[in-house]
């Protein structure tokens, strides 16, 4: 039997674990890399665009890759409780993995500003949900203070194990494509994920015994080069929450993409390093652009991602139009979370259901009205 059992088992020689580490996993990772077939035709560009659909992780977002590592290491260290601040997805993942591990979980979320699906997950998995009258950045600051006065282990991405888990996405993409893509685009909120992607890609082209900070250069991974190139990294922020574009923290970040409603990212410097080392860039998209592309992806390709995730494709489509990304390129967009996370936003921008009597004729009239011509 060769069951797939998650990213730690698959990449254990590339991750900071030993044979005795008690792995806490929900079989995360191994998500599909889906080629967008209709969009390149629609925009008349000869490019290959792939969506790495992280919404198909166990709790519906990429956070599971980081959380399996963070919770595993917390349990290994004897922790009885974890804590995080979250715009929603981190709290959902933390709650689920804490449940799996049998430890307590405290999540700080901005009151009224997290998507319904994410809130339901944190509640359902039995974490202690603490709504704060403040935003994510306030929560992040408080979590760091609270970890000094209470016995709780932080599982936000300032915990380096989170980024170690999240780097595995790069390995999967390289395995699927046979090499790294030319461009890799993703949303930037707290900026951990773009940093983790870059770490993964960098380790994949490395054939030296360079230390990764955990293995002292001893792991077999550093001796097995997987890719011949690293991608150009593209990070997109929502216009109302774009501290990296502004060059300073944004005090009151605001965007429909609540997942990335973050004004002072913890991994800011790491993200800038990834952008600079890769020769990439940051840019911003408006809420209108984000929602437009979320719907476009859902309706032309059948992929339903959440608003924050759609910004990766929104940015790429804009940069293709501007010629900043050339034809012939292979592009991967990380679709970070599932659209079902935020049903309110989806319903608000969609065509309302047609209500009719339960009667053949009435329904047939609707069908005839909406049938494609010809």
Would you count residue 86 as binding ligand AN7 (CB under 6 A)?
Answer: yes
* Nearest distance, CB of residue 228 and ligand AN7, angstroms: 27
Query: Minimal distance in Å, beta carbon 89 to ligand AN7?
Result: 3
306 touches ligand AN7 (CB under 6 A): yes
Q: Which of 29, 117, 181, 192 binds ligand AN7 (CB under 6 A)?
A: 192
CB 111 within 8 A of CB 88: no
Segment interacting with ligand AN7, rule: CB under 6 A, options 126-134, 182-190, 218-226, 314-322: 182-190
Report yes or no: 5 and 28 within 8 Å, Cβ to Cβ. Answer: no
The answer to the question of residue 280 lying near ligand AN7 (CB under 6 A) is no
Closest separation between CB of residue 241 and ligand AN7, Å?
10
Identify the residue among 308, 313, 325, 332 touching ligand AN7 (CB under 6 A): 308
Least Å distance, CB 274 to ligand AN7, is: 11
By CB under 6 A, is residue 256 in contact with ligand AN7? no
Closest CB to ligand AN7 among residues 264, 329: 264
Shortest Cβ 244–ligand AN7 spacing (Å): 10
Label the pairing between strands 48-53 and 33-35: antiparallel
Q: What is the largest CA-CA distance in the chain?
A: 73
- Name 342's Cβ contacts closer than 8 Å, sequence gap at least 6: 115, 116, 117, 118, 258, 306, 307
For 268, other C-beta atoms within 10 Å of its C-beta total 16
Contact 81, 153 (CB under 8 A): yes
Find, among 170, 164, 332, 198, the residue nearest to 278 by Cα. Answer: 198
Instruction: Count the Cβ atoms, other than its own, within 10 Å of residue 48.
Output: 17
Give the closest residue to 58 by CA, choosing from 24, 15, 104, 109: 24
Task: Name the residues that contact ligand AN7, by CB under 6 A.
Answer: 61, 86-90, 157, 187-193, 259-260, 306, 308-309, 336-337
């Amino acid at each position: 039997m060769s069951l797939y059992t998650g990213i730690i088992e698959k990449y254990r020689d590339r991750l900071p674990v030993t044979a005795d580490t008690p792995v806490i996993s929900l079989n995360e990772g191994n998500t599909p890399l889906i080629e967008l077939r209709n969009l390149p035709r629609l925009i008349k560009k000869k490019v290959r665009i792939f969506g790495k659909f992280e919404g198909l992780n166990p709790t519906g977002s990429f956070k599971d890759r980081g959380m399996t590592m963070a919770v595993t290491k917390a349990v290994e260290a004897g922790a009885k409780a974890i804590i995080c601040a979250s715009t929603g997805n981190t709290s959902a993942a933390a709650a689920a993995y804490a449940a799996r591990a049998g430890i307590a979980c405290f999540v700080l979320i901005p009151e009224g500003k997290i998507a319904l699906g994410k809130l339901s997950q944190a509640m359902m998995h039995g974490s202690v949900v603490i709504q704060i009258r403040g935003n994510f950045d306030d929560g992040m600051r408080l979590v760091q203070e609270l970890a000094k006065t209470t016995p709780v282990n932080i599982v936000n991405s300032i915990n380096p194990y989170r980024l170690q888990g999240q780097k595995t996405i790069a390995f999967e993409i390289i395995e699927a494509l046979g090499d790294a893509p030319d461009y890799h685009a993703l949303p930037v909120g707290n900026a951990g994920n773009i940093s983790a992607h870059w770490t993964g890609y960098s380790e994949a082209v490395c054939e030296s015994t360079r230390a990764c900070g955990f293995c002292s250069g001893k792991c077999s991974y550093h001796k097995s080069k997987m890719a011949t190139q690293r991608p150009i990294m593209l990070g997109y922020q929502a216009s109302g929450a774009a501290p990296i574009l502004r060059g300073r923290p944004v005090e009151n970040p605001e965007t429909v993409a609540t997942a990335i409603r973050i004004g002072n990212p913890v991994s800011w410097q790491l993200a800038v390093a990834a952008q600079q080392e890769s020769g990439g860039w940051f840019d911003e998209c408006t809420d209108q652009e984000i929602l437009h592309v979320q719907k476009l992806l859902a309706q032309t390709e059948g992929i339903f991602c959440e608003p924050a995730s759609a910004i990766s494709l929104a940015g790429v489509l804009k940069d293709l139009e501007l010629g900043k990304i050339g034809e012939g390129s292979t592009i991967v967009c990380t679709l970070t979370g599932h659209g079902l996370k935020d049903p309110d936003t989806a319903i608000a921008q969609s065509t309302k259901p047609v209500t009719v009597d339960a009667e053949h004729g009435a329904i047939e009239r609707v069908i005839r009205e909406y049938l494609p011509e010809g």
